[in-house]
Amino acid sequence: MESYQRFLKPDVLAKLQGLDVKARLVVEGFLAGLHKSPYHGFSVEFAEYRQYMPGDELKRVDWKVYGRSDRYYVKEFEEETNLRAWILLDASSSMGYKSDGLSKLEYACYLAASLAYLLLKQQDAVGLVLFDQAIRTYIPPRATTTHLTTILQHLDKARPGGKTDVSATFHELAEKIKRRGLIIVLSDLMDDPDKVLQGLKHFRHRKHEVLAFHVLDPAELELPFGTDAVFKDMETGEELPTSTGDIRESYQRLVKGWTEHYRRECRDHLIDYVSLSTSTPFDQALLAYLSKRQRVR
């Protein structure tokens, strides 16, 4: 078995198969239905130009435009798909943290694989972006069955590295993604909260539907360490010795306020915020979310 196939376990696929109708109600009905796509039905009509990005097929480059402008542009066409979804996966250094079991990045990769499978199974188009302080991987949305292998292979190669600049990536993508769709964020959101929220709101301003999966390790939520500890910033290397027993209560209070700030702001701007702990099996977390969305609908 290829290493990338580990992201789609048979037992997880069985659970997703069992929720096929419910999932379609959630993804196509609740999400796509909020902003009915004008692109239903098969069409190969030209839609627009956009600047070439790594991952685009070279055959889509308009060489006549290149000859006139000395810049690479690709043609966008109307596609036979109900929805275009983009999975934005944070691959910064902080996502490599784990106190036990899966790291935040591994956990997010499993979620990303399941979501990609679900969307493609529904004949929707899905793309993948890996980022830290800049875009590292850009895979444009496709609705073909072979596209899932491409996404899984890139997830398999994902490694944590680089500092975090969530908001800059969001603003850049919000300007580049012209057609309305679904933006799925998988991140620990460990950046300036107000800047992160401005980036999320930028997507909403562009009329995208936004889901933010806030992935955290249980140790980051509870600070369960012994009396004395040295904490090391995974992105800067800075170290901070402290007595955890003295700060645990105030730390937990601050973390709760931090996550509640995200939850409140997202709710006020119609962004679906989902707080996840890596201690919860990823398939259980995903199924719980899908079931909740169905009940809300």
Q: pLDDT per position in the chain (297 positions), as tens?
A: 577 788 887 887 777 765 532 333 233 333 443 334 444 333 444 556 667 766 677 877 888 888 888 888 877 654 444 678 999 999 999 999 999 999 999 999 999 999 998 888 878 889 999 999 999 999 999 988 789 999 999 999 999 988 888 999 999 999 999 888 899 999 999 999 999 999 999 999 998 989 999 999 999 999 888 777 788 777 788 888 888 878 889 999 999 999 999 999 999 999 999 999 999 999 899 888 877 766 655
Looking at the domain 3-37+81-296, which fold is it?
Answer: Rossmann fold (3.40.50)
Residue 292: count other Cβ atoms within 10 Å of its Cβ. 13
> Taking Cα atoms as reference points, which of 131, 138, 133, 75 lies closest to residue 105?
131
- Distance in angstroms (rounded) separating the CA atoms of residues 65 and 179: 21
Token pair, residue 157, equals 């190669």
Residues 6+ apart with CB under 8 A from 159: 91, 96, 105
**pLDDT tens-place string over residues 223-245:** 888 777 788 777 788 888 888 87
Helix (H) or strand (E) holding 16: helix 10-18
Q: Which residue ranges make up each domain of the chain?
A: 3-37+81-296, 44-77
